[in-house]
Amino acid sequence: MPLVPMKQILDEAAKKGYGVPHFNVNNMEQAQAIMRSADAVSSPVIMAASRGALKYTDLVFIKHLMLACIEKYPKLPVSMHLDHGNNLDSVKTAISLGFTSVMLDGSLKEDGKTPTTFEENVSVTRSAVEYAHKFGVTVEGELGTLGGIEDGVGSGQVHVTDPGQVKEFLERTGVDALAVAIGTSHGAYKFKIKPDPDKNLLAMDIIRKIHALAPNLHMVMHGSSSVPQELLQIINKYGGKIPPTYGVPLWAIKEGIAAGVRKVNVDTDLRLASTGAIRKVLFENPEKFDPRDYLGPARDAMAAVVKERFEAFGSAGHAFDYAPTTLEEMKKFY
C-alpha cells in the first residue's frame, strides 16, 4: 500500500472525533517502535521528520526508512510528514523524497527563530500550498508561535493564536491543517509547575473559539509531549540531571481533541524514554559495549510510550476503517 495523504487520516479522525499522534523519527529504532505499536493497536500513523532529522539521518536514509515501514506493514495507513519546513525549498525536497504531507512554518522566518508578520506568513504558506497540492500532498501551516526551542526551531517567544485571524488565514492560504499556539512549547522544559485546569497555563479556550469559527478545520497541537515524571525519574536515577519540569497532561490533550484537534505532536517523550532505557542498561551493566544491548531496550521503551498515545488519543482500532487514498487521487480533489 502506498503512503497516504495526511489529509485523509485527519478527515477520518474528524468523522469519529479522535486525535492522531504525530511522532518524529530520526533513526531505525524510533521508526520500528512507532510501527510496531501502530500494528499492535491498529492505528493510522503520522511519522514526521524535522529539518534536524533530515540533516542528522540523511535524506536518502530517511526515504528508505519510510519505504521500509511501508514494506514491513503494508496494510497500515501511514503519512510521512515534514515537520517545520522553513521555506519552499524544504517543502520541494520533502515532496521529491515521497513525503505525503508537509508543514510550512510561516510563523517564523527562515532562521526558525524570528517571528513573521501575518502577511508574511500568509504569503509563504500560500506558496507552499500552491506547490504541494499539485502533487496531492497535504499542507499544515502555523498561526501564532510556541515557546521553547527544539531541533533549532523556536523563537523562545509565545504568541498565542488569535482566533479572529484564523478564518482569513484559511481562506487566503488554503491549508489543510493548522498548528495553533495555546501555551504549549517545544522541548522538555514546558512548565515549572504541574498544569491543572485552574492555573490557566494552557489557553484551551482558544481551541474552542477556533473550532466554533471554523468547525471543519483540523487543528494541530505542537509541543504536546506529556513529559512523564516516571521517565524523568529513570533518567535521573541512572546519572541524568534533568531539573523538575512538566509537560502537557493527557487530560488537556483529550480536551483539545474533543474541541477539534486532530493531530498531536509528540517528540520529547520518545527522547526521554530512549535516554532513560539507555542510561539504565549502561549503569547496571558497565561492561556492555554492543549498541544492540542498549538500543533494543530503548526501542522497547519508546514503543510503550507510542502505544499509550495511540490509545489515549483514540486512534487505536481505526487503521482499517477506510480504504487508502493515493496522492494521484488527491490531486483530483485539489
**Which active-site residues does the annotation give?**
83
Distance CA 196, CA 173 (A): 35
Computed over its alpha carbons, how large is the radius of gyration of the chain? Answer: 19
Question: How far is residue 110 from each of residues 41, 104, 128, 132, measured CA to CA in Å?
Answer: 38, 10, 14, 18
Question: How far is residue 27 from each of residues 44, 57, 58, 233, 246, measured CA to CA in Å?
Answer: 20, 7, 10, 25, 26
Contact indicator for 141, 123 with CB cutoff of 8 Å: no
Distance CA 70, CA 128 (A): 26
Distance CA 162, CA 164 (A): 5
Distance CA 6, CA 3 (A): 9
Which grid cell is 310? Answer: 495511540
Task: Supply φ then ψ for residue 147, to 5 degrees.
Answer: -85, 180
62-101 burial, b at 16+ Cβ within 10 Å, e below that, comes to bbebbeebbeebeebbbbbbbbbbbbbebbbbbbebbbbb
Going by C-alpha positions, the residue among 8, 25, 143 that lies closest to residue 82 is 25
Q: 207: number of CA atoms within 13 Å, CB side?
A: 26
